[in-house]
């Protein structure tokens, strides 16, 4: 009788132990996924709406998010993937924007300009416009997520307010980029800029007159950038 009683006690203790383990084990649902994203944000000192300051960190965070997307949740997989994709698009937009700033004031017409930096302005404007397009893609995805998963969007602290703010930001970036392209193409077309390069090459290089006279715009632009140590 005592042996049976002891066995029952052990069984009760064992079952209680199992229940405790099951209660302590965190369900891999949408909330779990959001916690993983927030942990990643903490790692890079970012939020759902901010980004790392440097390109290497952006690339590293993008890699981490792609790894995070491999997590298989028991519930809420699709809304979790929406947030991951939204963050990835925003990071790509930020990366393109940073690349578009590499020439500083020489990459825009906003603060005054000459025609010779035309290739820098064209490249910068193109990168900034690509950033805006990627940003608009992120905004559309966010709005789709909010409409499709209102409960999950609240849990992730994302709302139409975020979409409106981001859309306004990317609209301004796009507007500035298109303005730069329009101004530089109207006031400094390729033929005018080529003539300025040729004049400079005649004065400051040992290139032959025949070579200089036969240069195409793209060739001359590359030479001009090389002279100034611009890569």
- Mean pLDDT value across residues 33-54: 93
Contact between 44 and 23 under an 8 Å Cβ cutoff? The reply is no
Count the Cβ atoms, other than its own, within 10 Å of residue 39. Answer: 11
CA distance 166 to 152: 20
> How much is the pTM?
0.84
pLDDT recorded at residue 231: 83
Q: Which of 26-35, 45-54, 61-70 has the lowest mean pLDDT?
A: 26-35
State how far the alpha carbon of 181 is from the alpha carbons of 63, 100, 120, 184, 197, in Å: 33, 13, 11, 5, 20
- pLDDT surpassing 50 at residue 18: no
What pLDDT, on the 0 to 100 scale, is given for residue 28?
A: 87
How buried is 26 (Cβ within 10 angstroms: 0-12 exposed, 13-18 middle, 19+ buried)? exposed
pLDDT of residue 9: 52
Q: 68-72, 91-95, 130-134, 196-200 — which is least confidently predicted? A: 68-72
- H-state helical runs in the chain: 2-24, 30-43, 55-68, 77-99, 118-148, 150-155, 160-187, 190-204, 209-213, 217-227
Inter-residue long-range contacts of 146-151, CB under 8 Å, 24+ positions, other chains counted? 148/79, 148/82, 149/78, 149/79, 149/82
Ranked by mean pLDDT, the top range of 11-15, 73-77, 78-82 is 78-82
In this prediction, what percent of the chain has a pLDDT beyond 90? 85
In the chain, where the domains are located: 29-188
Model pLDDT, residue 66: 96
User: What percentage of the chain exceeds 70 in pLDDT?
Assistant: 89
Q: What is the mean pLDDT of residues 155-170?
A: 95
Pairwise pLDDT comparison (20 vs 200), residue with the higher score: 200
Q: Give the model's confidence band at 16: pLDDT under 50 very low, under 70 low, under 90 confident, else very high.
A: very low
pLDDT over threshold 90, residue 136: yes
Tokens 């690339």 found at: 59
């Amino acid at each position: 009788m005592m042996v049976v009683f002891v066995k029952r006690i052990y069984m009760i203790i064992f079952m209680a132990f199992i229940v405790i383990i099951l209660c302590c084990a965190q369900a891999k649902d949408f909330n779990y996924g959001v916690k993983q994203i927030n942990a990643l944000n903490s790692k890079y000192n970012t939020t759902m709406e901010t980004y790392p300051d440097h390109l290497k960190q952006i690339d590293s965070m993008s890699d981490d998010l792609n790894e995070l997307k491999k997590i298989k949740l028991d519930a809420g997989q699709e809304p979790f993937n929406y947030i991951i994709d939204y963050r990835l698009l925003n990071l790509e937009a930020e990366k393109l924007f940073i690349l578009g700033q590499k020439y500083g004031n020489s990459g825009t017409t906003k603060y005054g300009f000459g025609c010779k930096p035309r290739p820098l302005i064209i490249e910068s404007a193109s990168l900034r416009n690509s950033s805006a397009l990627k940003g608009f893609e992120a905004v559309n995805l966010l709005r789709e997520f909010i409409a499709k998963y209102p409960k999950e969007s609240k849990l992730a602290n994302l709302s139409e307010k975020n979409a409106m703010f981001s859309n306004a930001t990317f609209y301004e970036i796009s507007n500035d980029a298109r303005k730069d392209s329009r101004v530089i193409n109207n006031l400094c077309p390729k033929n005018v800029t080529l003539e300025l390069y040729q004049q400079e090459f005649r004065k400051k290089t040992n290139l032959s007159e025949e070579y200089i006279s036969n240069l195409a715009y793209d060739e001359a632009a590359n030479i001009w950038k090389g002279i100034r140590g611009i890569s």
